[in-house]
Structure 1
C-alpha cells in the first residue's frame, strides 16, 4: 500500500509512476494528483500491454518497465486496488494501490 507521503513525493521521482484510474469526467471535477497520468480503469490492461512507443504516444511518458514502482489511485481506493491487482497479474511486480486516493489527498492538502 502506498502512503500519502509517498504519493506527494512522486514528482521528485521520475523513475516512479502514479497512475490515476478515475474517469476523465471525475478528473475534470476534482483536478489531478501532481505527477500522475490518467488511464481509466476499463482501459488499464490494454494500456499496459501497448508497445513502448504507443504508450509514450498515448500518455506522454515512457511505458513502465515490469519492475517499475507503480502507484495506482482513484477516488476512494477501491479501483486503485483493482488496478494494482490487474497490473500484477500481467507482470508488473511492484504495483501497489494508494488506499486513501483522491479523498485522502484532498483532505490532507487542506490541512
Structure 2
C-alpha cells in the first residue's frame, strides 16, 4: 500500500517536472499525490509541492529586460562561469554561482561589487535568479529568502 502511494507521488512529481511549466522546488513539504486535472494552474502545482510560503514566479525575457532598463531590480545568474562562456548570459545580470549565493548576499556592498562586478541587491529590492534549466534558481531563491529577501 505504501509502495503504491510512493509510486503515485513519484509519477505525479515527474509529470510536473517534465511539463516545465513550474520551477522544480524542494519537494519535502507534502507527501500526498495530487492527480493532474484539466484546468489546474501551474501556481497550484507549485504551491502543492513547495516548502516555501510563496511559489517561485516565472518571468519572461521582456519582463527581465524592462527590470534591467528601469533598474527596478537585480538579475543574478547562478550558473558557473564556464556555463556563461559556453551558453552566454543576460546582459546586465550578475554572475553569482549557486554555491556562493548565501555568502555573497551577506557581504558588504563594496566587497560584493568588487567580487561580482555589480551592485549588491538590497533586502527590499526585487531579485530574479536565472540558471540554465530552472533547477538551481529556485534553490538560490530559497537561500535569499532565508536571509530576509522577500521580493
Shorter-normalised TM range: 0.7 to 0.9
Which protein has greater RCO, CA pairs closer than 8 Å, 6+ apart? 1
Distance apart, 1:79 and its partner CA: 0.4
Which residue in 2 is equivalent to 1:24?
A: 81
Which residue in 2 is equivalent to 1:109?
A: none
Secondary structure of 2:129's counterpart equals strand
**1:86-105 matches, cutoff 5 A:** 86-94=143-151
Higher strand share: 1
| Aligned-residue RMSD, C-alpha | 1.2
Unaligned runs of 5+ in 2: 1-56
Aligned: 1:11 with 2:68: yes
- Return the alpha-carbon distance in structure 1 between the equivalents of residues 128 and 68 of structure 2: 12
Distance apart, 1:61 and its partner CA: 2.4
Which residue in 1 is equivalent to 2:115?
A: 58
Q: 1:2 aligns with which of 52, 58, 77?
A: 58
- Return the alpha-carbon distance in structure 2 between the equivalents of residues 2 and 36 of structure 1: 16
- Return the alpha-carbon distance in structure 2 between the equivalents of residues 2 and 10 of structure 1: 14
- TM-score normalized with structure 1 length: 0.78
Which residue in 2 is equivalent to 1:79?
A: 136
Count residues in correspondence: 94
The question of whether the paired residues in 2 share the 8 Å contact of 1:10 and 1:35 is answered with no
- Return the alpha-carbon distance in structure 2 between the equivalents of residues 83 and 74 of structure 1: 10
Higher Cα radius of gyration: 2
- Return the alpha-carbon distance in structure 2 between the equivalents of residues 25 and 60 of structure 1: 17
The runs of 4+ residues in structure 1 deviating greater than 6 Å are none
Unaligned runs of 5+ in 1: 95-111
